[in-house]
């Protein structure tokens, strides 16, 4: 516990670390040596398939399972970054054609950069792995804020006015992603500090989840909740100004085999 960054997550612990890539890339994540990072480690609390009545311990998976769970986390961050950039491309395209700017500021947010680091055992075989992400300095950006849970399409209750505005913007980005992908996918479980977001979940249509692509994302990808998005989402000022209110998210029609 003396080496944790904040409280443990639902299935990851975060630890302070340093990253030095060899050779150093010219730019981007890891382009400086001794870069302060968050090293996230997957864990579980079940033993022999049962949940103990004792206080949970951080039980680590065997290397193959740890790699499988960690790479799913990495894929979620990769997809979230891509979908997020896609959303801002849409926003900028609309802004470029608008006769006047909106009467509010557009939040400028970004997902943390990261990757997967594998450990190498003494015999040369690949061991477990860590999810490596750029470290968000809480002394500079403040504490982490949860904006939207992965079980809901509405802002978390109890947020300040400025935090609620960010949460409403993120709800709008979900609407954009739903519409532009034909109701196939959107980002959820938004949290972060300052302009940075981390630990995303990718919500996919149950048809894709079970048959087409399988569960390539994390356990937080809850397909049953995906169908509830059209009913849970409430358009806000961002949806109104970008003319999404006239194109509300509609349920996907399941295709037969």
pLDDT tens for each residue of 201-252? 888 876 654 444 445 555 555 666 778 899 999 999 999 999 999 998 887 6
Show me where the domains of the chain are located. 64-242
Residues 128-179 have pLDDT tens digits of: 899 999 999 888 999 999 999 988 899 999 999 999 999 999 999 999 999 9
On average, the pLDDT of the chain sits at 86
pLDDT for residue 203: 87
Instruction: Give the residue from 25, 79, 70, 21 showing the smallest Cα distance to 43.
Output: 70
pLDDT for residue 58: 79
pLDDT for residue 177: 95
pLDDT for residue 89: 97
Q: How confident is the model at residue 7 (pLDDT cuts 50, 70, 90)?
A: confident
**CATH classification of 64-242, choosing from 3.30.365.10, 2.40.420.20, 3.20.200.10, 3.40.50.980?**
3.20.200.10
pLDDT for residue 15: 92
pTM for this predicted structure = 0.87
Where are the strands (E) in the chain, listed by range? 12-19, 35-42, 46-47, 50-51, 110-111, 114-120, 126-134, 145-148, 185-188, 190-193, 196-197, 201-204
Token digits for 14?
């975060």
Residue 81: CA count within 13 A, CB half-sphere: 14
Integer angstrom CA distances of residue 85 from 34, 82, 92, 169:
28, 5, 11, 14
Asked if omega into 23 is within 30° of 0 (cis), the reply is yes
């Amino acid at each position: 516990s003396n080496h944790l960054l904040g409280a443990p997550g639902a299935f990851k612990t975060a630890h302070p670390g340093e990253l030095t890539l060899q050779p150093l890339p010219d730019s981007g994540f890891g382009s400086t040596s001794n870069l302060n990072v968050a090293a996230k480690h997957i864990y579980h609390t079940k033993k022999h398939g049962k949940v103990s009545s004792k206080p949970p311990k951080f039980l680590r998976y065997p290397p193959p399972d740890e790699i499988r769970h960690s790479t799913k986390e990495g894929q979620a961050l990769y997809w979230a970054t891509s979908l997020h950039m896609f959303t801002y491309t849409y926003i900028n395209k609309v802004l470029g054609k608008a006769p006047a700017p909106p009467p509010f500021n557009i939040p400028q947010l970004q997902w943390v950069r990261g990757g997967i680091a594998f450990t190498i055992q003494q015999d040369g075989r690949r061991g477990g792995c860590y999810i490596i992400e750029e470290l968000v300095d809480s002394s500079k950006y403040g504490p982490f804020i949860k904006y939207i849970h992965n079980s809901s399409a509405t802002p978390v209750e109890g947020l300040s006015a400025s935090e609620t505005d960010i949460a409403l913007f993120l709800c709008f980005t979900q609407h954009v992603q739903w519409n532009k992908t034909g109701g196939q996918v959107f980002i959820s479980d938004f949290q972060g500090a300052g302009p940075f977001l981390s630990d995303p979940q990718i919500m996919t249509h149950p048809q894709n989840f079970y048959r087409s692509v399988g569960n390539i994302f994390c356990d937080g990808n809850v397909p049953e909740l995906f169908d509830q998005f059209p009913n849970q989402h409430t358009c806000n000022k961002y949806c109104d100004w970008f003319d999404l209110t006239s194109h509300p998210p509609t349920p996907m029609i399941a295709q037969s085999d």
